[in-house]
Amino acid sequence: MSEPRQSVDAVIIGAGFAGMYMLHALREQGFTAQVFEVADDVGGTWYWNRYPGARCDVESLEYSYSFSPELEQEWEWTERYATQPEILRYAQHVADRFDLRRDIRFNTRVQSADFDDTTTRWTVATDDGSRTSAQFLIMAVGCLSSTNLPNFPGRDTFAGASYHTGTWPHEGVDFTGKRVAVIGTGSSAVQSIPIIAQQAQHVTVFQRTPTYAVPAHNRPLAAAEVAEVKAHYRELRAANRLTMVGYGARSPRGETNASDASPAELEAEYERRWAAGGLSYLGGYADLLLNKDSNETAAEFIRRQIRATVNDPAVAELLTPTNVVGCKRLCVDTGYYATFNRPNVSLVDVSQQPIEEITPRGVRVAGVDYEVDCIVYATGFDAMTGSLLKINANGPEISLQQAWEAGPRTYLGLSVHGLPNMFTISGPGSPSVLTNMITSIEQHVEWIRDCVVAMRDKGLHRIEATEQAQDEWVDYVNMVADMTLFPTCNSWYLGANVPGKPRVFMPLLGFAPYEEQCKQVAADGYRGFALV
């Protein structure tokens, strides 16, 4: 492993897709950079989330870097939705291909970063005692990397094995013959429950909020489809960057409103999208996340599929969500609802009476003990802010923790007033988690790269978002969210899954308009930033 350098142009924290591309992009411009990474290899999210069935719900041909046409052509995806091992292999291939590892210090956690206003440089301290001085501090820590493990009474008294989907053992887990509790029914649970159920003696799922899931219809990629995409990759990538979500240009979103469609038209459109599979289900009509009545038509279609799939009407009813579809992240599944027809799977509703206690032998709800051998916490993440706040970043007068005491505030999701020369890749206030993450990462990396090149060209050494620009941006992000149905659920987008976390709608809706705004800010001489 490389020794960290003592002085570089940029320290990058994290070696997932964001950190890897940031390193490559800076190197290409002649900058020096040091990456710090807690894990022992690259991959970020795809390094940690090794739970059974983990896959990306954005199609593999689009959930991949676009910055290198050669990389794009040489890599062969095998399935419509890539598995976690395949995506991790891809990340490792990228690290090899661009010789990234020599500037990455693995097994190393950044503990603090302090900005010195006299030198306009950061000093970054790590848990192995190293100190690195850098002009720029770039946070590539991921949006979903700080796990949320609920503090159930007695949690640590459990005598069996406990796992969190987000920090799954590398050697895998054999559930054969085991009684397993799964807590949570979000995307990670929806993917893992059907597979755990095939192995385990019994699976008991503890559900607080039922989930909408649309079928993945995963399949091996046909050679002809791959060839077709590869022949027109540039056009596809460009078209994706003109969408609201940074992917899916191959199955365009409907431009008409569900409110204008007849019941027969609605049914046909939802049938078509359900049969196609995947997240484009919600792209059927333009108003599905704007108009409650329109949303209800899409939601009701899924509810009918659940009732038609699940044999026991009482179980079906419990599995049927009532809230707006899409205001929590839509899940993409393979056999999730049907899994509840298995004799070895049962469902426990914890919406009214929460999990009371974890006992040495299992999970207690409403005085009933569910005895299990293993507990799988599929309880999600302290999303978007968790990993950033774990780093003690201190500006000249204020720390990041102080700046975000009442919730995250950024300018463009890229920069925080009070923390000069610090950039956040896919930070709160940017589209990030509402998009194809790799599209958003590439856009942020390229913007940051161009910004530091412009600073070097002009002999500038300090950049900081102004308070006014940040205030206006936060208002704008909220205004956009309030025009939609997104704030109507207790989602992790709002921080509602973590007790005590300030309720702020963190991502910004709409990739294409956002990219345009970022370009305009740069073209206007980095409007909203104070440059020295």
> Exactly one of 42, 183, 236, 474 binds ligand N01 (CB under 6 A); which one?
183
Q: Is 187 in the site for ligand N01 (CB under 6 A)?
A: yes
Stretch of 126-134, 262-270, 377-385, 412-420 lying at the interface with ligand N01 (CB under 6 A): 377-385
Q: Is 309 in the site for ligand N01 (CB under 6 A)?
A: no
CB of 450 to ligand N01, least distance (A): 28
Q: Is 438 in the site for ligand N01 (CB under 6 A)?
A: no
CB of 455 to ligand N01, least distance (A): 34
Q: Is 407 in the site for ligand N01 (CB under 6 A)?
A: no
> Exactly one of 55, 241, 409, 449 binds ligand N01 (CB under 6 A); which one?
55
Stretch of 65-73, 223-231, 347-355, 411-419 lying at the interface with ligand N01 (CB under 6 A): 347-355
> Exactly one of 60, 135, 320, 379 binds ligand N01 (CB under 6 A); which one?
379
How does DSSP classify residue 330?
A: P
Which 311-330 positions form the footprint of ligand N01 (CB under 6 A)?
A: 329
Angle, helices 437-458/511-523, rounded to nearest 10 degrees: 0
CB of 117 to ligand N01, least distance (A): 38
Q: Which residues contact 95 (CB under 8 A, 6 or more apart)?
A: 15, 20, 41, 42, 101, 104
Helical H runs in 81-204? 84-97, 187-199
CB of 46 to ligand N01, least distance (A): 10
Q: What is the enclosing helix (H) or strand (E) of 393?
A: strand 392-394
Q: Is 95 in the site for ligand N01 (CB under 6 A)?
A: no
422 token code pair: 């610090």
> Exactly one of 43, 52, 186, 507 binds ligand N01 (CB under 6 A); which one?
186
Q: Is 365 in the site for ligand N01 (CB under 6 A)?
A: no
State which residue, 338 or 496, has the beta carbon closest to ligand N01: 496
How does DSSP classify residue 259?
A: G
Cα separation, 345 vs 185, in Å, equals 14
Cα separation, 32 vs 456, in Å, equals 13
Stretch of 32-40, 87-95, 188-196, 396-404 lying at the interface with ligand N01 (CB under 6 A): 188-196
Cα separation, 106 vs 121, in Å, equals 23
Q: Is 380 in the site for ligand N01 (CB under 6 A)?
A: yes
18 token code pair: 């964001």
Cα separation, 107 vs 44, in Å, equals 13
Stretch of 228-236, 243-251, 373-381, 514-522 lying at the interface with ligand N01 (CB under 6 A): 373-381
Q: Is 150 in the site for ligand N01 (CB under 6 A)?
A: yes
CA distances from 265 to 143, 162, 283, 519 (A): 38, 47, 15, 39
CB of 144 to ligand N01, least distance (A): 5
DSSP assignment of 102-118 equals GGEE-S--EEEEEEETT
Q: Is 80 in the site for ligand N01 (CB under 6 A)?
A: no
111 token code pair: 């503990």
Cα separation, 250 vs 277, in Å, equals 13
State which residue, 494 or 521, has the beta carbon closest to ligand N01: 494
Q: Exposed/middle/buried for 3, CB within 10 Å: 0-12, 13-18, 19+? A: exposed
Task: Enumerate binding residues for ligand N01 (CB under 6 A).
Answer: 55-57, 144, 150, 165, 183-189, 191, 208-209, 329, 332, 350, 354-355, 378-381, 433, 492, 497
